[in-house]
Amino acid sequence: MVKVVSPISHREVESLNLDFEAKSEPWVTYDLSDGTVLKIRTLVTGVMRLEGEHDPAGNPLYNVSTQVVIRVVSSPKDLRGSPTSSATLPGRASTGGPEVR
* pLDDT of the residue at 97: 55
Instruction: List phi, psi (to 5°) of 68.
Output: -100, 130
Residues in the chain where the model's pLDDT stays below 50? none
Quote the CA–CA distance of 23 and 71 in Å, as a whole number.
21
* pLDDT of the residue at 78: 94
* pLDDT of the residue at 95: 52
How many residues in the chain?
101
Please state the pTM of the whole predicted model: 0.69
Quote the CA–CA distance of 4 and 99 in Å, as a whole number.
6
Residue 2: what residue type?
V
